[in-house]
């Protein structure tokens, strides 16, 4: 008690005999902004709505700091002039009036008080002083660093600004995202704002001055702190200390205790950004803080900051006691030094006086039901749990490897398997009663539950363009299309579906071209183009990361790589017999069946050459087909080749020429349209009857069975060619590529390469079957397009095959 009385006596003595002396010093304070108007800065924080004057406004915060600083300076004998003492729009003075006021008041220094904005994520101190950075040699209209008087003004302004910055940066109640910066306003404005001559509030000032951006008011934990008057007083006190140092006004004989009180474990659950560390923890609103030696009490406000300050204390040893219902009281010793703030961040422990219990869990389904194999396992408790004992108490059978994390400040424990769970499997989850909370009370009993997984545990890529080893991807403005068996969750698609070049460098996507889930349900899709063209002849990879997932979280799991090669799809063969520069085809309903909404039109946007391409559209029923007939006749013989450029629609429908000679009508396959982009197809007409002139009487598109999204036909054609068949015109030419036949096939596939082995893949790269023989049976496989790999003596080659 005696000790307490001595401290109180000392405090009153030092207060009465203030050692610092700023007599005669004149400071001009400009609390920035004013008026709660459009030139002000209103940061919306709960419980205030936008525009509510009771909420955070920079003008108000700056003014409060200005008032506190004025009182401190005046108590030390300084003269203070403020540019405003109220908060109206008229108080937000023109820059010229602020500068003139400081000059005409005969101020020794001008302080413009502000706080800054950093997109809600940054929080640091920035001083913008009159003048230049020390390394800046640039000449500005109003400032020439070779002029000694200008240099002196810049140096003096930097000296006091550095003093202020250092002191503000000692603040340990906030969380700084980086160190403090002291910059010349001319340099900073030129480099960061692209302004030619610094900040207007410092231009024409002929005494040292600074714009102080003390912290970032849009970093929400700081916004809440700036709602606390004591916290703003601390900033003012640090200004004051800086002035005492700079003006040799002597040391402040007292010190301050500034603290914040937070929960020791519970995190602040809110959706605004918090820098790692103290700001993540729950501030304890309403805590009573007592300075034991003086009996002074402080109640923490309700503004989510936990801040308390005991001001003007005599140097000595003190004890700070914090009390809050539901928490263990806490007393901490702290030393107060003169001319300083003693910072104290207190973490209080909650009283947990009942055993922990599980109040919820997932997946919670009856065993007659099933859950997605991608599920994680969540346990929710009535108390925040001890991580070590709770993790150790967890088990799952059959055994699954995975990661345990805690959420909601240890109220929830989540087990996330490394891979999707097994299909159609019964799992048992158990938490042993050894799991405890921080007050060492454990579960009363073991806890367990069971669930069964569904029969699907992977998201499947069912079709893609390019497909594996595709070697005809047109280099110019290539389009990429990936179709999955379920609708995609799109949040991570931008970075998890990528195109790499041969050096495995990412080729940037055109973000504006991305279209997700455009395909019919239940399928999912992602379509995109690239910013730059590909290079013809170069190899690339379309990569689908294992993290790509559907809407229920089932992921691809194993990363898929689809190698492909870029080419220039424009054929050099001549002549072009139809450049599709005018509309030369029309829908022929007489020849069509099961077709609706069919049309032929010219497209200038999707052309390959010239000014336009022919666009063919239709809706096809199952087994349906659509025919477009030419408006002018073109003739071909079996000695000739028909070449055509096709932009497919990934429907895998069959595209065919219709040739007619008298009563002889034949359909010659061009391609299946299971691709997306321009490709050139060379059609061998040798199956037409010899010595007969055929007329091209139509282009037919036939629905392929098994492709649900093939009903919507949307195909483009460009530059139809006619030229001699190289095989017939140059007899004896041999191809070195091993032949796989028949193609299309149904029951079997065979190669003519001696000693070859065959491997069959889906177009998405999944291996279906391998045989160490030149013949493979295929009758049991679903119809569609596949890729076959032929391993012969000379190496491996790939070919696309179609199974009926």
Partner 1 sequence: MKKIILILLIAATGCSIHAQKPGISRYNQVNTEGNKAAFFPVLNRTGDLLLYSSGVYSGLQLHELATQKNITISTEAGAGYEPIFDLTNNRIFYRYSTFENGRKFDGMQSYELKTGKTVPMLSPRRELRQVRGYNNGFLVAAEKQLLKVTFGRTGNDDLYFVTTEDLKMVLVKEGRKHYLNPLQMDESRYIWVSLSPDNNRILFTAAGKGTFICDLQGKILHRLNYLNAPVWYDANYVVGMNDKDDGHVVTASTIELVNIKTNERTPVSRKGEIAMHPTAAGQAGKIAYHTTEGKIFVAEVVFK
The pair of three-digit structure tokens given for residue 312, joined into one six-digit string: 């003007």
Residue among 163 and 550 whose Cβ is closer to partner 1: 163
Question: From the list 74, 147, 178, 743, which residue makes contact with partner 1 (rule: CB under 8 A)?
Answer: 147
> Residues 514, 518, 521, 523: what is their CA dihedral angle, to the nearest 10 degrees?
-40
Residue among 103 and 660 whose Cβ is closer to partner 1: 103
Q: Tell me the per-residue interface mask from 534 to 573 with partner 1, x by CB under 8 A, - otherwise.
A: ----------------------------------------
Residue among 141 and 779 whose Cβ is closer to partner 1: 141
Nearest C-alpha neighbor of 31 from the set 84, 86, 93: 84
Question: From the list 5, 12, 13, 39, which residue makes contact with partner 1 (rule: CB under 8 A)?
Answer: 39
252 scored as a contact of partner 1 (CB under 8 A):
no
Separation of alpha carbons 183 and 187, rounded Å: 7
First to last CA, the chain: 99
Residue among 146 and 401 whose Cβ is closer to partner 1: 146
Cβ burial of 216 (10 Å; 0-12, 13-18, 19+) is: buried
Residue among 97 and 434 whose Cβ is closer to partner 1: 97
Cα dist. 221→121, 305, 309 in Å?
10, 7, 17
Nearest approach in angstroms of CB 339 to partner 1 is 18
Nearest approach in angstroms of CB 220 to partner 1 is 23
Nearest approach in angstroms of CB 189 to partner 1 is 8
Question: From the list 180, 247, 657, 798, which residue makes contact with partner 1 (rule: CB under 8 A)?
Answer: 247
Nearest approach in angstroms of CB 105 to partner 1 is 5
Q: Tell me the per-residue interface mask from 80 to 119 with partner 1, x by CB under 8 A, - otherwise.
A: -xxxxx----xxxxxxxxx-xx-xxxxxxx----------
Nearest approach in angstroms of CB 148 to partner 1 is 8
Question: From the list 111, 130, 257, 613, which residue makes contact with partner 1 (rule: CB under 8 A)?
Answer: 130
The pair of three-digit structure tokens given for residue 113, joined into one six-digit string: 């008080």
Residue among 111 and 652 whose Cβ is closer to partner 1: 111
Nearest approach in angstroms of CB 154 to partner 1 is 9
Report 676-705 residues binding partner 1 (CB under 8 A): none
Nearest approach in angstroms of CB 32 to partner 1 is 8
Which one of the spans 144-152, 376-384, 527-535, 698-706 is the region binding partner 1 (CB under 8 A)? Answer: 144-152
557 near 484, Cβ under 8 Å?
Answer: no
Question: From the list 36, 57, 67, 143, which residue makes contact with partner 1 (rule: CB under 8 A)?
Answer: 143
Residue among 144 and 354 whose Cβ is closer to partner 1: 144
Question: From the list 12, 248, 302, 331, which residue makes contact with partner 1 (rule: CB under 8 A)?
Answer: 248
Nearest approach in angstroms of CB 209 to partner 1 is 10
Question: From the list 16, 149, 511, 633, which residue makes contact with partner 1 (rule: CB under 8 A)?
Answer: 149
Nearest approach in angstroms of CB 72 to partner 1 is 17
Separation of alpha carbons 757 and 387, rounded Å: 55
Task: Catalogue the E-assigned strands of 63-125.
Answer: 79-82, 109-116
Residue among 25 and 421 whose Cβ is closer to partner 1: 25
Residue among 204 and 553 whose Cβ is closer to partner 1: 204
Residue among 93 and 768 whose Cβ is closer to partner 1: 93
Nearest approach in angstroms of CB 243 to partner 1 is 8
Report 153-172 residues binding partner 1 (CB under 8 A): 153, 156, 160
DSSP 394-405: EEEES---EEEE
- Indicate the SS3 state at residue 512: helix
Nearest approach in angstroms of CB 196 to partner 1 is 8
Number of other residues whose CB lies within 10 A of the CB of residue 41:
18
Nearest approach in angstroms of CB 23 to partner 1 is 10
Which one of the spans 115-123, 138-146, 439-447, 789-797 is the region binding partner 1 (CB under 8 A)? Answer: 138-146
DSSP 109-151: EEEEEEEE--TTT----EEEESS--TT----BTTB-TTSHHHH
Separation of alpha carbons 507 and 541, rounded Å: 10
Question: From the list 12, 74, 144, 692, which residue makes contact with partner 1 (rule: CB under 8 A)?
Answer: 144
DSSP code, position 330: E
Separation of alpha carbons 412 and 289, rounded Å: 31
Report 227-246 residues binding partner 1 (CB under 8 A): 246
Residue among 249 and 363 whose Cβ is closer to partner 1: 249
Which residues make beta-bridge pairs with 151? none
Q: Tell me the per-residue interface mask from 181 to 220 with partner 1, x by CB under 8 A, - otherwise.
A: --------x---x-x-x-xx--xxxxxx------------
Left (φ > 0), alpha (ψ -120 to 50) or beta: where does 677 sit? left
Which residues make beta-bridge pairs with 617? 599, 714
Residues near partner 1 (CB under 8 A), total: 58
Nearest C-alpha neighbor of 233 from the set 334, 126, 309, 313: 309
Separation of alpha carbons 545 and 561, rounded Å: 8
Separation of alpha carbons 56 and 225, rounded Å: 10
Separation of alpha carbons 248 and 108, rounded Å: 13
Q: b/e for 663-695, b at 16 or more Cβ within 10 A?
A: eeebebbbbbbbbbbbbbbebbbeebeeeeebe
Is the preceding peptide bond at 466 cis, omega within 30 degrees of 0? yes
Separation of alpha carbons 713 and 690, rounded Å: 33
**Binding-site ranges for partner 1 (CB under 8 A):** 24-26, 33, 39, 79, 81-85, 90-98, 100-101, 103-109, 130, 140-144, 147-150, 152-153, 156, 160, 189, 193, 195, 197, 199-200, 203-208, 246-248
């Amino acid at each position: 008690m005696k000790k307490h009385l001595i401290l109180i006596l000392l405090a009153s003595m030092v207060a009465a005999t203030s050692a610092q002396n700023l007599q005669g010093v004149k400071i001009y304070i400009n609390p920035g902004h004013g008026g709660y108007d459009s030139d002000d800065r209103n940061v919306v924080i709960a419980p205030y709505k936008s525009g509510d004057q009771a909420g955070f406004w920079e003008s108000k915060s700056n003014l409060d700091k200005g008032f506190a600083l004025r009182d401190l300076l005046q108590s030390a004998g300084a003269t203070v002039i403020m540019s405003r003492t109220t908060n109206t729009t008229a108080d937000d003075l023109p820059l010229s009036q602020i500068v003139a006021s400081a000059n005409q008041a005969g101020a020794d220094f001008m302080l413009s008080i502000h706080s800054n904005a950093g997109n809600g994520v940054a929080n640091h101190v920035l001083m913008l002083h009159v003048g230049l950075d020390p390394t800046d040699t640039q000449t500005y209209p109003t400032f020439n660093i070779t002029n000694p008087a200008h240099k002196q003004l810049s140096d003096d302004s930097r000296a006091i600004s550095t003093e202020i910055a250092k002191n503000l940066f000692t603040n340990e109640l906030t969380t700084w995202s980086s160190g403090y910066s002291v910059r010349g306003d001319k340099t900073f404005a030129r480099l960061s704002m692209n302004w030619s001559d610094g900040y207007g509030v410092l231009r024409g000032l002929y005494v040292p001055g600074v714009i102080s951006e003390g912290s970032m008011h849009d970093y929400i934990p700081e916004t809440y702190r700036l709602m606390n008057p004591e916290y703003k007083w601390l900033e003012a006190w640090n200004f004051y200390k800086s002035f005492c140092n700079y003006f040799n006004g002597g040391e402040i004989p007292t010190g301050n205790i500034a603290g914040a009180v937070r929960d020791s474990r519970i995190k602040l659950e809110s959706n605004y950004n918090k820098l790692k560390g103290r700001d993540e923890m729950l501030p304890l609103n309403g805590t009573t803080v007592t300075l034991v030696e003086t009996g002074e009490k402080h109640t923490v406000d309700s503004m989510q900051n936990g801040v308390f300050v005991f001001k003007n204390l005599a140097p000595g040893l003190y004890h700070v006691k914090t009390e809050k219902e539901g928490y263990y009281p806490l007393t901490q010793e702290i030393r107060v030094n003169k001319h300083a703030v003693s910072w104290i961040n207190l973490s209080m422990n909650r009283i947990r006086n009942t055993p922990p219990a599980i109040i919820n869990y997932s997946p919670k389904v009856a065993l007659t039901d099933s859950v997605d194999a991608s599920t994680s396992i969540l346990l929710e408790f009535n108390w925040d749990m001890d991580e070590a004992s709770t993790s150790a108490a967890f088990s799952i059978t059959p055994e699954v490897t995975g990661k345990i994390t805690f959420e909601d400040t240890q109220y929830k424990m989540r087990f996330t398997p490394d891979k999707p769970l097994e299909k159609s499997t019964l799992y048992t989850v158990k938490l042993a009663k050894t799991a405890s909370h921080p007050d060492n009370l454990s579960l009363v009993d073991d806890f367990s539950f069971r669930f069964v997984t569904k029969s699907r545990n992977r998201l499947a890529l069912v079709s893609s363009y390019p497909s594996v080893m595709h070697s005809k991807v047109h280099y110019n403005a290539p389009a990429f299309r990936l179709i999955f068996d379920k609708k995609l969750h799109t949040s991570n698609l931008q970075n998890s579906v990528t195109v790499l070049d041969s050096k495995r460098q990412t080729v940037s996507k055109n973000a504006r071209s991305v279209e997700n889930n455009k395909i019919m349900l239940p399928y999912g899709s992602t379509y995109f183009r690239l910013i730059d063209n590909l290079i013809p002849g170069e190899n690339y990879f379309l990569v689908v990361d294992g993290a790509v997932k559907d809407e229920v979280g089932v992921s691809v799991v194993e990363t898929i790589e689809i190698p492909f090669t870029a080419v220039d799809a424009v054929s050099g063969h001549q002549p072009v017999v139809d450049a599709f520069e005018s509309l030369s085809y029309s829908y022929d309903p007489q020849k069509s069946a099961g077709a609706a909404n069919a049309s032929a039109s010219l497209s200038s946007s999707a052309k390959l050459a010239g000014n336009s391409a022919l666009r063919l559209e239709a809706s096809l029923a199952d087994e349906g087909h659509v025919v477009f007939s030419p408006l002018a006749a073109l003739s071909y013989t079996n000695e000739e080749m028909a070449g055509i450029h096709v932009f497919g629609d990934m429907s895998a429908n069959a595209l065919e020429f219709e040739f007619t000679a008298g009563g002889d009508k034949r359909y010659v396959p061009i391609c299946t349209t299971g691709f997306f982009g321009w490709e050139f197809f060379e059609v061998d007409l040798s199956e037409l009857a010899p010595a007969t002139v055929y007329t091209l009487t139509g282009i037919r598109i036939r629905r392929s069975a098994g492709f649900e999204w093939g009903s919507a036909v949307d195909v483009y054609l460009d530059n139809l060619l006619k030229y001699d068949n190289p095989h017939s015109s140059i007899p004896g030419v041999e191809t070195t590529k091993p032949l796989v036949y028949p193609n299309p096939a149904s029951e079997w596939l065979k190669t003519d390469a001696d000693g070859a082995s065959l491997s069959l893949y889906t177009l998405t790269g999944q291996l279906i079957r391998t045989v160490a023989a030149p013949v493979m049976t295929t009758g049991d496989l679903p119809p569609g397009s596949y890729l076959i790999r032929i391993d012969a003596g000379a190496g491996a080659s790939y070919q696309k095959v179609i199974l009926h």
